[in-house]
Structure 1
Amino acid sequence: MSESSHRLLNIARILQFGDSVLPVGAFTFSCGVESAISCGIVYNRQTLKQYVCTALLQAAKCDAVAQIQTMRACRSNRLNELISIDNDLISRKLSPEPRLMTQRMGKKLTELSAAIYPDPVFNWWLEQIRQGTVVGTYPVSHGLLMSHLDLDEDAMLAMHFYGVAMTILSAAQRLMRITHLDSQKILAEVTSLFPDYAEMALNTRPEEMSSFSPMIDILAAVHVDAHVRLFMN
């Protein structure tokens, strides 16, 4: 395959698996913005952008680090390391709802991968999930798929950050008064920060992986006992 054909194929794969309507259940979650809006923390375009940036920072220091380690382990044929990476990642999720989100989306993505591609590695990972050996977090499952597709780390991180931003913005569109133009403007502004978040993730050692973000953790706890909920987190 020529270099241009390979590049075109990679772009197509990025579009497919970076699509916000990929059937892994992301639309049922809000990454905490539902509580942020109901508590009055997010109430306009500026505060929504600040919330998206906070979520992206959290992702860069935690989920993205796990993705990078997963891809590197896969390319070095050290698949057993995925088990420890997955366990390390889930142990850093403090609230039950983020745990549920990463678990459900990770399993759905693995099932989708196994259905599309005949590589036995997906069936192996799915079996680890079903046996309870691992939770099957979304970042690890995503890193496994990206390795199979032969995408590079930058493309993988861009897809992940885009997914985080779009999950929040799509939820906010249904929860507060904000136009589609405002949402797209926020997306364009935060996209310009993706290289900074990627550099942060690439420079974070595995043992430094942390999801520490007090505001998001508190909002997740508030959401658990909320009387009215549109989203699962």
Structure 2
Amino acid sequence: MATITDPVAPLLRLLWLASPALPIGAFSYSEGLESAVEHGLVRDDASAADWLEQQLGLLARGDLAAIAHGIAAWRANDETALRELALWLRVTRDGAEARLQSEQMGQSLLVWLRTQPMATPAQLALLAECCGGHAPPHAFVMALALAGIDVPIEQALQAQVFGWAENQVQAALKAVPLGQTAGQRVLTRLAARIPAAVAEALATPPARRQLFAPRLSILAARHETQYSRLFRS
């Protein structure tokens, strides 16, 4: 069995932390996809892949870049940068659904961390103070540090975004709906785009981070009044 000193253990812990099966509720949100299906923007595996590729581009210059900056700030022990990042993450959730997802998943990740033997009370207190238990990207950064996962930032971003892609494909299977083979075609397209998305995130300076996507925000707002829905709003 791998132990905490085993060189493989950090990779295993990274995969665990980035897994869509982590009990923080990611599976209950479609991030606008269900609303896009309702409005005819996503109809099959090709249009689902197009939609999710656009979201991946948004993540690259937004939350993925934020995770990269957060990891660098944590490793530099720069609390000022961590607090500024937490504020940016809070103010860029521009709708009720996005705020709900951020708050619920961030709080759930904090609860999960408290059940693990890897974090001290002082570290957990800093996490709660810095992000108020909100904003999954910020909590993910802290969790990486608290879990002792000292991997290259590029690997951390790849793991996180692949977990996101798996979760979104599962949402597409239910909402479109798609078959398993079609879902794998979508995941294949997303996986091919992940290296470029990670490279863009790493090249994005803090001043150029942005999550401006008004069409997605409007769809998310419409989702809460959608007649029939499988995902939380």
Whether these two folds match at TM > 0.5 is: yes
Q: Does the 8 Å contact 1:113/1:122 carry over to 2? A: no
Match of 1:52 in 2: 52
Q: Distance in 2 between matches of 1:127 and 1:41?
A: 39
The farther-off stretch of 211-220 and 40-49 is: 211-220
Match of 2:124 in 1: 123
Match of 1:83 in 2: 83
Match of 2:156 in 1: 156
The one of 129, 139, 149 aligned to 1:141: 139
Q: Percent identity?
A: 24
Match of 2:194 in 1: 194
C-alpha distance 41-113 of structure 1, shift in aligned 2 (>3 A): same
Q: How many residues align?
A: 227
Matched ranges for 1:5-84 at <5 A: 5-6=6-7, 8-84=8-84
SS of aligned partner of 1:226: coil
Matched ranges for 1:172-183 at <5 A: 172-183=172-183
Q: Distance in 2 between matches of 1:95 and 1:155?
A: 30
Q: Does the 8 Å contact 1:86/1:140 carry over to 2? A: yes
Measured after TM superposition, the shift of residue 138 of structure 1 is: 0.4
Match of 1:112 in 2: 112
Q: Distance in 1 between matches of 2:160 and 2:54?
A: 15
Runs of at least 4 residues off by over 3 Å: none
* Unaligned segments of structure 2, at least 5 residues: none
C-alpha offsets along residues 172-202 of structure 1, whole Å, 9 cap, x if unaligned? 1112231111111211221121110011111
* Unaligned segments of structure 1, at least 5 residues: none
SS of aligned partner of 1:42: coil
Q: TM-score, normalised by structure 2?
A: 0.89
Match of 1:165 in 2: 165
Q: Does the 8 Å contact 1:110/1:122 carry over to 2? A: no
C-alpha distance 147-135 of structure 1, shift in aligned 2 (>3 A): closer
C-alpha distance 216-46 of structure 1, shift in aligned 2 (>3 A): same
